[in-house]
Amino acid sequence: MNAHIEKVRSRGASMRARWDSMPRQVRWVALLALIVFLYLLPNRWFYINLWYFRTMESDMATVLFETAFFVLLAVGLNVVVGFAGLLDLGYFGFFAVGAYTVALLTSPESRFDIGWPWLAAVPAAVAVTMISGVILGGPTLRLRGDYLAIVTLGFAEMIRLYASRNEGIANGQRGIPQIPHPVPDVKGSDGQSLFGVVDARPYYWLTLTIIIFVILGVRNLTRSRVGRAWVAIREDEDAAQIMGVPTFKYKLWAFAIGAAVGGLSGALFAGKQSFINSDSFQLTNSILVLAAVILGGAGNIYGAVIGAFITWYLPEWVRGIGGALGLEINVAEYRILIFGAVLIVMMIFRPQGILPNRRRAAEFADRRQEAAPTEAST
């Protein structure tokens, strides 16, 4: 068993080394081809030939949009958990703050009745969520580990319960309807608004474009002095502070940046759904985003993307696979069970994630080497 596990791990390491050894031009061409593939993916004429990949029962474009904003959430949480090493269990609370900010500023049914266009409300939602991240992080980032996780969990539940029970601003369980769609004046080939209700492709393309820019921004940030400070804090906060790194400031930056990305995701979600209430922001969603980051590989941007894609897309893909294979059982009833089994297997065979950060992968390799003599002696 251990030999098989080591074989799988070595195969993954060799594939990554082969990718790193390729010329930069080849890697850029491969990435551009992948981006073109992702932009073509929601078109029916394109995905209809991808039998083993496309969803059978759910609308492919809608599933891709939901997967895309989930990926955006994972990229934002990866800044907090993967780079800065802060355990955040309430990340979906920032998603809710961004969605409600857009709803309150744009919907004619909101208490404020301001009537802003969606594009004008998005920067405000990002700013509000960033400020909320600073307000939450200011008094709580002195905590570490489980204590910080409990505080962030309480923040997310506080937002959800306030939204569900407050009839003044959030309209309680009735929610806020008539949230305008992004850029309603842009028309499609049929003369209707491009960002409508039925076709989810424009929302997916918009979210995918935002994801690309966010990844580029986070990637450049992690290669700067800020990113190096985050790594130092994640590895040993006390040692980083002794060496002169202002740990509290950089942790607060990570919290604020992660909150801003979460708020941006919430703004996209509200613009697509055109209606929100507290039922959209359950605790299980926060746990799923954290599971996606760990599954893909905490501390690696592309690992977080892959983990989020698997976490959200795999259950939807399994939903329709039973009918496609002609099985008498309803596979859709067991899709969460199948996904849970995949997570368990991954944590056994590859606890560092599918595509881990190199430093994190080296840490796991050192631990295995330290454990090997102990197992041999026993």
Which region among 44-48, 138-142, 168-172 has the lowest average model confidence (pLDDT)?
Answer: 168-172
Per-residue pLDDT at 257: 93
Helix axes 283-296, 301-319, angle to 10 degrees: 120
Per-residue pLDDT at 211: 95
Per-residue pLDDT at 148: 86
Residue 363 confidence (pLDDT) above 70:
no
Residue 366 confidence (pLDDT) above 80:
no
Per-residue pLDDT at 329: 59
Average pLDDT, whole number, for the chain?
A: 82
Each residue's pLDDT tens digit, 44-101: 888 888 777 777 777 888 899 999 989 999 999 999 998 988 888 888 889 999 999 9
Q: How far is CA 78 from CA 42, 72, 73, 144, 233, in A?
A: 26, 10, 8, 17, 15
Helix axes 335-349, 301-319, angle to 10 degrees: 150
Residue 372 confidence (pLDDT) above 90:
no
Question: Are the C-beta atoms of residues 88 and 145 closer than 8 Å to each other?
Answer: no
Instruction: Provide φ and ψ at 292, rounded to 5°.
Output: -65, -45
Residue 178 confidence (pLDDT) above 60:
yes
Each residue's pLDDT tens digit, 92-120: 889 999 999 999 999 888 877 788 888 88
Residue 283 confidence class, pLDDT cut points 50, 70, 90 = confident
Closest alpha carbon to 250 in 20, 40, 86: 86
| Residues contacting residue 350 through CB under 8 Å, at least 6 positions apart | 8, 9, 12
Mean pLDDT to the nearest integer, 339-352: 80
Residue 129: CB atoms within 10 A of its CB come to 31
Residue 144 confidence (pLDDT) above 90:
no
In sequence order, what DSSP letters do the residues of 45-60 get, joined into one string? HHHTT-TTTS-SSS-H
Per-residue pLDDT at 112: 77
Residue 335 confidence (pLDDT) above 90:
no
Per-residue pLDDT at 298: 84
Residue 159 confidence class, pLDDT cut points 50, 70, 90 = confident
Which region among 26-40, 61-75, 340-354 has the lowest average model confidence (pLDDT)?
Answer: 340-354
Residue 137 confidence (pLDDT) above 70:
yes
Tokens (6 digits) for 229: 């400070």
Residue 186 confidence (pLDDT) above 70:
no
Between 140 and 113, the higher pLDDT residue: 140
Each residue's pLDDT tens digit, 238-274: 888 888 888 888 999 999 999 999 999 999 999 888 8
